[in-house]
Amino acid sequence: MTQKTLNLNSAPGHQVLAAAGKKILRPGGRAATQQLLEWANFKAGETVLELAASFGESAIALAKQFGVRVVGVEKNPDSVVRARANIQAAGVAHLVEVIEGDIFQLDAIAEQFDYVLAEAILTMQSPPGKAKLLRSIHDRLKPKGRFLSHELLVIGDRETEIHQSLAQSIRVNSTPLTEAHWVEACNTAELSVLQQQTGAMGLLNPARIVEDEGWSNAAKFFWKVLTQAQLRQRILSMRQIFQKYKSELGYIIFVAERP
């Protein structure tokens, strides 16, 4: 989605960041995602269902690095078209498929998978939405299959206040949970958390941006923010909220298993 079609005043925060050229939108950054994938210990030929696959870039990377077969679900039809072109260009069409679909209708997919991967997806759902999605994830896993998750974390007891502040700034119903509540949500869906890690959320920290995006892409991002007033206003507004709650916002990655 380009800024010509994107209303920067009302668009969700992740779309605004993408319009500025940011590619890594996970709260723990590239390093946390890499740790999650190391925990997975993929074997060639295993199967992965990725939720909100976007342009297929992470699915392609998984197939190339680990030799797994990946099915991605993506709701935006334009993103699906772009993902399929990327898959063909990468030469991994025998391993990667991105289908158009709604993550809340996973029962339309008959297959069960060794893994389901979702990063920065559950945070954006309401409590009932989280519960429904986690149950659907459970059902799409094979017995002993594993759910790989990377989400936003609340530290402390001000969940409601933080939810309200994030919703006003990010323009979506962002509802991160405490570590205990993430584990409880998984348990309710009959997913047992085996491994977990938490850390600082540095999504709009300049040093983290360089680390995640590389110098070239980071420079392009900073230039857009500096030179485009409306874009700058939205991104700085989000950063102010992140800074206000910097000691109470973090990331969590976890691996949870279906019985």
User: Has residue 8 been placed in a domain?
Assistant: no
At 59, list the tokens.
């699915």
Contact 119, 33 (CB under 8 A): yes
Structural domains in the chain (count): 1
Q: Give yes or no for residue 172 having a pLDDT over 90.
A: no
- Mean pLDDT value of segment 216-225: 96
What is the percent of the chain with per-residue pLDDT over 70, rounded to a whole number?
Answer: 98
Q: CATH number of the domain that 71 lies in?
A: 3.40.50.150
d(CA 225, CA 20): 7
User: Has residue 205 been placed in a domain?
Assistant: no
User: Has residue 143 been placed in a domain?
Assistant: yes
User: Has residue 74 been placed in a domain?
Assistant: yes
Q: Give yes or no for residue 1 having a pLDDT over 70.
A: no
Q: Pseudo-torsion of CA 17, 173, 26, 182, nearest 10°? A: 170
Q: Give yes or no for residue 72 having a pLDDT over 90.
A: yes
Q: Give yes or no for residue 209 having a pLDDT over 60.
A: yes
Domain ranges, residue 53: 26-164+172-200+247-257
User: Has residue 218 been placed in a domain?
Assistant: no
pLDDT at position 2, please? 41
Instruction: Give the list of residues 6+ apart from residue 14 with CB closer than 8 angstroms, or none.
Output: 25, 120, 170, 172
Contact 118, 51 (CB under 8 A): yes
User: Has residue 139 been placed in a domain?
Assistant: yes
Phi, psi (degrees; rounded to nearest 5) at 48: -130, 130
At 192, list the tokens.
């047992």
Three-state secondary structure call for residue 8: coil
User: Has residue 35 been placed in a domain?
Assistant: yes
Q: Give yes or no for residue 104 having a pLDDT over 90.
A: yes
pLDDT at position 173, please? 84
- Mean pLDDT value of segment 50-78: 96
Q: Give yes or no for residue 256 having a pLDDT over 80.
A: yes
pLDDT at position 3, please? 40
Per-position DSSP letters for 170-236, written without gaps between them: HSS----B-HHHHHHHHHHTT-EEEEEEEEE--TT-HHHHHHHHHHHHHHHHHHHHHH-HHHHHHHH
User: Has residue 9 been placed in a domain?
Assistant: no
pLDDT digits (tens, 9 = 90+) for 20-47: 999 999 999 999 999 999 999 999 999 9
